[in-house]
Amino acid sequence: MQAVSSGIGYGLKYQARCISDVKADTDHTSFLAGTLSLKEENEVHLIRLSANGTELFCEGLFSHPNEIWDLVSCPFDQRIFSTVYSNGESYGAAIWQIPELYGELNSPQLERITSLETKSGKIKSILWWPTGRHDKLISINDESLCLWSLDVSKKTAQVQSQDSAGILHKLSGGAWDPHDVNSVAATCESSLQFWDVRTMKKTLSIECSHVRSADYHPRKNNILVTAEHESGIRIWDLRKPKVPIQELPGHTHWTWIVKCNPEYDGIILSAGTDSTVNLWSASINHDELTTESQPESPARLVDPLLNTYSDYEDSIYGLTWSSREPWIFASLSYDGRVVVESVKPFISRK
């Protein structure tokens, strides 16, 4: 597949790993990106795509006190977001709010709504309730999951329940099922774990090595996509979790992150440490993929790789679709370069 790129670029001042779609901004295509500098004051950039789709500009620039390792925009309030951060020795997590009149201030400061403090483990990622306005959050520590209740008006967050995954698991991230809000998938070194947030107990575990990212299919129940170091991309039907229903080759080096398109069925993005973003078209139909007696169909012989975007010079850790314009995605390479691309030439509305 020949690489095709016509992306729009934007440069951060420092190295970076995290970018998030601002889902609650229904008037603009916007993204939040956070930097990862140990020695310098870090920054959060509010980046906006121009109305004609030809330019990225900085809508807001805000100081952040530590390295940002995880950043997620609140799905129901465009001015609120979460970060997981580190000063090089310890980790922390907080909920932040962008000042209402930030565009009229000379040096606008983020307001720390509250910190998420746990007694044990390092927080690795924050998951927001996947559908609609809700006060629940989940923090994933290296050893446990915590369910939080957030009160923005009172600037508090309290742990509602938690349980330990065990010191051998080393949880690193996860995804909240949009079809079943009682279920969360958590990634770790040796398995993919599923938890019931009502009881905070593990309900299922799938053995797989070095899972770096997981994302639920937004339109089909029980379908989960994972990115793994050596195995590339795997698509799972959680009703029959022993083996994946489809595998995609991934990247020439580690496959780091995977994202399902919010609107187009079977359209998947992946990025990795080979400095590329891949656009895939997967046939996510469990019956077709698991019926051994069915003869080979032409659809299976089509190359699932639609395009490779290679206009990067460093590993890519940040990747997100735009929920407002689902044919647009933003990627962030470690050298602080944001690139926004349109996939319209490669897809048709299902």
Per-residue pLDDT of 246-268, as tens digits, reads: 999 878 788 889 999 999 999 99
Which CA distances in Å does 111 have to 114, 171, 197?
Answer: 9, 29, 29
Residue 341: pLDDT over 90? yes
Under the banding of pLDDT at 50, 70 and 90, the label for residue 285 is low
The pTM score is 0.91
Question: What pLDDT, on the 0 to 100 scale, is given for residue 4?
Answer: 53
Question: What's the whole-number mean pLDDT along residues 108-112?
Answer: 89
Going by pLDDT thresholds of 50, 70 and 90, the confidence category of residue 168 is low
Helices (H), the chain: 286-290, 298-301
- Tokens 């314009």 — which residue? 325
Looking at residue 88, its pLDDT comes to 77
pLDDT value at 349 more than 50? no
Whole-number pLDDT of residue 251: 82
Laid out side by side, the sheet with 191-196 consists of 173-176, 183-187, 191-196, 201-207
